[in-house]
Amino acid sequence: MAFEAAAAKAPARRGRAGVPRRVMDPTCGGGAFLLAALDQFVARGLAPVDALARVAGHDIDDGAVRATRQAIEAWAEREGVRPGDRPEMDVRLSDALTVAVEPGQRPDVVLGNPPFATPLRGDGLPESAHTLRLEHAELLGPYADLAAVHLLHAVRSVMSQQGEEGEGGVVAFVLPQSLLSSRDVAGLREWLRSSAPTTHVWASDQLEFEANVRVFAPVLSVGGTASTTQTWAEQVAGALGVPHVDLDLEHGTLADLATATAGFRDEYYALAEAVGEESALGTGHPRLATVGAIDPLSFSWGSMPLRFAKQAWHRPVIDEDRIPSAKREWFARQRQPKVLLPTQSKIFEPYVDRNGSVLPVTPVISVHAAAEDLDRIAAVLLAPPVVAWAHRRWFGAALAINAIKLAAKDVVTIPLPPDRARWDEAASLVPMGPAALPEIAALMTQAYRSDDSLLRYWLDRAPISGDRLSE
Ligand SMILES: C[S@@+](CC[C@H](N)C(=O)[O-])C[C@H]1O[C@@H](n2cnc3c(N)ncnc32)[C@H](O)[C@@H]1O
């Protein structure tokens, strides 16, 4: 992919169309990427001896450098390049982040699988990475992954040849998917969108490598023009099969109808202080809702035990009198009718609390609106196009690859559907509860003028049984 991208960039400048001038792996390990590059050169018609002159690698590990050199020697042997004819091999023991590349030796393709490491403390990075991060503190925050520092360095090293040799180049790195949403890399992501737009993305939904991380590999066109306005998260979501859906803002957003809030730690502790079993506190108190107790249009309180504050509860209720005075206002607001929305699920799972009798525990989001709009809000959250849209938009933010995580402030950015009649029809079914879910989803797919592929995507993800779907 990186070869194709490099070829597409400026074939005329190279001796042979579609063949990069120099491919570098700055953290080459055992040399797997360089061997693949050598094969690609030959596949594109270069003589093996010429291919050998076009690859270069670095590693800080002596054993890795030796392994790469041996692997390349073995490749040359297999390809019949006699030892005396082989060009000097440019595979060096060096720190990729400090090594100076001589003019004329600059790569136009940088490939790599850099080390990943999330610093547990701000700037718990190796010395050279720490220095580089500080130089670019506007792009990389203190908790930026080490892989992001290597990426920035690679892009900059290709960039610096632009004026000098007249063209940009391509960088293709394997990166941890945490870079899709990490706040400490937000500046870098933004900068790359204009300086080195992503032309292709490969992604895996499996845990890769010993480090047990999910990875993706963007191909960046340094100095190129963007062919898409999609973010990395959206591109990776697309590569992993999340359907693409454009929702326009012409018809407004949930912010026109509602506000959304989620409690923080203080609210959690206030509830932990005030919780008790209904059998002890008596009836009429608000019921406690955790993420696990809410499913789409249903609330399992009383029928299933729930865990809260390291304890199992059967019918947990909140004693208003034990809520600290500093939290009274928050508490009073939660006693209003609202839609409750747990986060980190595969579809959105709204539950309408019609009389304000449910007290949500963080991270359940409360969506407050006029009583007559609650069912319409639930219908929007159940719309398959909305789920796909949100899944792409916030891809990688949730702990599980398939889950969707969004914050209270994000909920109100959800666009409203264009077809009001279908939307109202779907909303009228919300009081029927879970049995109406498939019909609501079908109507809301139409309300957003989307097609059945979105409905199928939603049905595949919905925690509702096949029996219920065929009812
Ligand atoms: C995940 S491995 C690369 C694997 C390689 N792509 C392969 O196919 O074998 C990462 C490599 O980066 C090297 N490394 C870590 N920090 C480095 C640095 N600052 N400069 C150069 N190499 C580095 C490590 O020694 C390790 O060999």
55: its two tokens = 């690859």
Inter-residue contact 200 to 1 (CB < 8 Å): yes
Whether cis (ω within 30° of 0) applies to the bond prior to 363 is: yes
pLDDT at 468: 41
Gap between the Cα atoms of 269 and 275, Å rounded: 10
Q: List C-alpha distances in Å: 466 to 297, 353, 382, 385, 431.
A: 17, 27, 18, 21, 21
Q: For residue 402, give the DSSP letter.
A: T
Least Cα distance to 130 among 97, 159, 100, 154 occurs for 97
- Residue closest via CA to ligand 1's atom 6 equals 113
**Cα 81 to middle of ligand 1, angstroms:** 27
Taking the CA of residue 97 as reference, the ligand 1 atom at the shortest distance is 19
Q: Coil, strand or helix: which one is 391?
A: helix
pLDDT at 170: 95
Gap between the Cα atoms of 290 and 407, Å rounded: 16
Inter-residue contact 129 to 60 (CB < 8 Å): no
Gap between the Cα atoms of 297 and 159, Å rounded: 53
Q: What is the DSSP string of 195-251?
A: HS-EEEEEE-SS-BTTTTB-EEEEEEEET---S----HHHHHHHHTTPPP----GGG
Query: Could you give the angle at the alpha carbon of 18 between the alpha carbons of 17 and 23, nearest 5°?
Result: 120
CA atoms within 13 A on the CB side of 380: 28
Pocket test for ligand 1, best of 25, 34, 39, 59 (most atoms within 8 A of CB): 59
**Cα 309 to middle of ligand 1, angstroms:** 43
395 lines ligand 1 (CB under 6 A): no
pLDDT at 114: 96
Q: List C-alpha distances in Å: 186 to 139, 140, 258.
A: 7, 8, 28
pLDDT at 11: 40
- Residue closest via CA to ligand 1's atom 27 equals 29
Q: Which sign, positive or negative, has the C-alpha torsion 180, 181, 183, 184?
A: negative
- Which residues lie across from 213 on neighbouring strands? 208
User: Tens digits of per-residue pLDDT, 92-134?
Assistant: 999 999 987 777 778 899 999 999 988 877 778 999 999 999 9
**Cα 104 to middle of ligand 1, angstroms:** 24
Q: How many CB atoms lie within 10 A of CB 95?
A: 15
- Average model confidence (pLDDT) across the chain: 90
Gap between the Cα atoms of 80 and 449, Å rounded: 61
468: its two tokens = 């219920």
111 lines ligand 1 (CB under 6 A): no
14: its two tokens = 């190279």
pLDDT at 4: 64
Q: Which amino acid is at 76?
A: A
96 lines ligand 1 (CB under 6 A): yes
- Residue closest via CA to ligand 1's atom 19 equals 95
Pocket test for ligand 1, best of 27, 69, 208 (most atoms within 8 A of CB): 27
Residues 6+ apart with CB under 8 A from 269: none
95 lines ligand 1 (CB under 6 A): yes
**Cα 178 to middle of ligand 1, angstroms:** 19
- Residue closest via CA to ligand 1's atom 15 equals 115
Gap between the Cα atoms of 354 and 356, Å rounded: 6
- Residue closest via CA to ligand 1's atom 12 equals 27
Query: Could you give the angle at the alpha carbon of 72 between the alpha carbons of 67 and 74, nearest 5°?
Result: 95
**Cα 96 to middle of ligand 1, angstroms:** 9
pLDDT at 469: 41
**Cα 57 to middle of ligand 1, angstroms:** 10
**Cα 402 to middle of ligand 1, angstroms:** 30
pLDDT at 470: 37
Q: Are strands 215-222 and 298-299 parallel, antiparallel or unpaired?
A: unpaired
Start-to-end C-alpha separation, the chain: 47
pLDDT at 121: 75
pLDDT at 15: 47
Tokens 């409690």, residue located: 263
Taking the CA of residue 67 as reference, the ligand 1 atom at the shortest distance is 9
Pocket test for ligand 1, best of 23, 24, 28, 38 (most atoms within 8 A of CB): 28
Inter-residue contact 178 to 143 (CB < 8 Å): no
Q: What are phi and psi of 360, to 5 degrees?
A: -80, 145
Map out the domains of the chain with their CATH numbers: 2-27+96-239 (no CATH), 249-470 (3.90.220.10)
Inter-residue contact 34 to 23 (CB < 8 Å): yes
Q: Coil, strand or helix: which one is 311?
A: strand
**pTM tops 0.85, yes or no:** no
Taking the CA of residue 68 as reference, the ligand 1 atom at the shortest distance is 9
How do the pLDDT tens digits run along the chain, 471 residues long?
Answer: 666 665 555 443 444 556 899 999 999 999 999 999 999 999 999 999 999 999 999 999 999 999 999 999 999 999 999 999 999 999 999 999 998 777 777 889 999 999 998 887 777 899 999 999 999 999 999 999 999 999 999 999 898 765 554 568 999 999 998 899 899 999 999 999 999 999 999 988 777 665 678 899 999 999 888 878 889 988 998 888 889 898 999 999 999 999 999 888 889 999 999 999 999 999 999 999 999 999 999 999 999 999 999 999 999 999 999 999 999 999 999 999 999 999 888 999 999 999 999 999 988 999 999 999 999 999 999 999 999 999 988 887 766 667 888 899 999 999 999 999 999 999 999 999 999 999 999 999 999 999 999 999 999 999 765 444 433
pLDDT at 13: 43
Tokens 């539950």, residue located: 351
Gap between the Cα atoms of 268 and 387, Å rounded: 28
- Residue closest via CA to ligand 1's atom 3 equals 29
58 lines ligand 1 (CB under 6 A): yes
Taking the CA of residue 146 as reference, the ligand 1 atom at the shortest distance is 16
User: Tens digits of per-residue pLDDT, 313-356?
Assistant: 999 999 999 999 999 999 999 999 999 999 888 999 999 999 99
